[in-house]
Amino acid sequence: MSKNILITGASSGFGRDTAETLARAGHQVFASMRNTADRNRPHANALQARGIHVIELDVTDDASVERGVASVLDQSGRLDVLINNAGIGSAGISEAFTTEQMRALFDVNVFGVQRTLRAVLPIFRKQGEGLVVNIGSILGRVTFPFFGLYGASKFAIEALSDSYRYELSKLGIDVVLVQPSNYPTNIFASAQRPADASRGPGYGEISAIPDKMVGTLMDLFASENAPNPHDVAEAIATVVEQANGTRPARLVVGQSFGADVINAQAVSVQAQLMEGLGLGQIA
């Protein structure tokens, strides 16, 4: 059955591919992004040429989010799926990032998710059904040094997703967390790099490791053995097609680096915790 779907951060990467994949599957897709009239106009035009609606929406701005969601309802009358994909990356010595950089990172990757949920969940609750797909990362379960700030934002999405899943469990609303591995999108190429370069020399030889790690990833992404980012779009499309109440809580896509093991362990730990809190009925 065709669904009305809103995707954030859909100008490129996973968001763009997912928008196109879901549109081909027959869904009515609303691809949102910032700067649709200037910087992202070529992306907006390309999506519109494929029959995809383009919505101006900045996840760092409450009013922009509210306008964007209202625009979807004006055009469709209903919203079935929210895909929280908008995000920025970060790579480097953690100490060398300024507080302002970390605030900007969390404003998109964490606060942006809260903004869209606050705008969309009243719609889902009124309908008595809906699907939230949050795009996390394996780095929300396992930690790579020098990617710790980005990982911290994705660890936050783990907790948010779990809490919302419990709280919405009796309201007909599913919450699924997709955890992609390392894929060749522009998130690494455009990732934040430390603004306070004066901190790096204090780490000696270690200070060279972040650039080497990013370089290794870029080499992998340029090779014939590069992982295919379309895996993520296909995984999301499968989740969208599944019946309400049957979807997985989490879904690792690509090389897990042990995230799948932690996911499995967390299931029993969380179940015992919820029972201990007397909240087994919403687990």
Catalytic, 150? Answer yes
Residue 223 neighbours by CB distance under 10 Å: 9
Q: Can you say whether residue 242 is alpha, beta or left, with left for phi > 0 and alpha for psi between -120 and 50 degrees?
A: beta
Annotated catalytic residue within 150, 164, 166, 203: 150
Q: Which residues of 91-117 are buried (b: 16+ CB within 10 A; e: fewer)?
A: bbbbebbeeebbebbbbbbbbbbbbbb
Q: How many residues does the chain have?
A: 283
CB 35 within 8 A of CB 254: no
What strands, in cross-sheet order, belong to the sheet with 28-33? Answer: 53-56, 28-33, 4-7, 81-84, 130-135, 173-180, 250-253
Hey, what are 243's tokens? 């019946």
Query: Locate tokens 């106009």: which residue?
Result: 41
Radius of gyration for the alpha carbons in the chain, expressed in angstroms and rounded: 19
Q: Which residues are catalytic?
A: 150
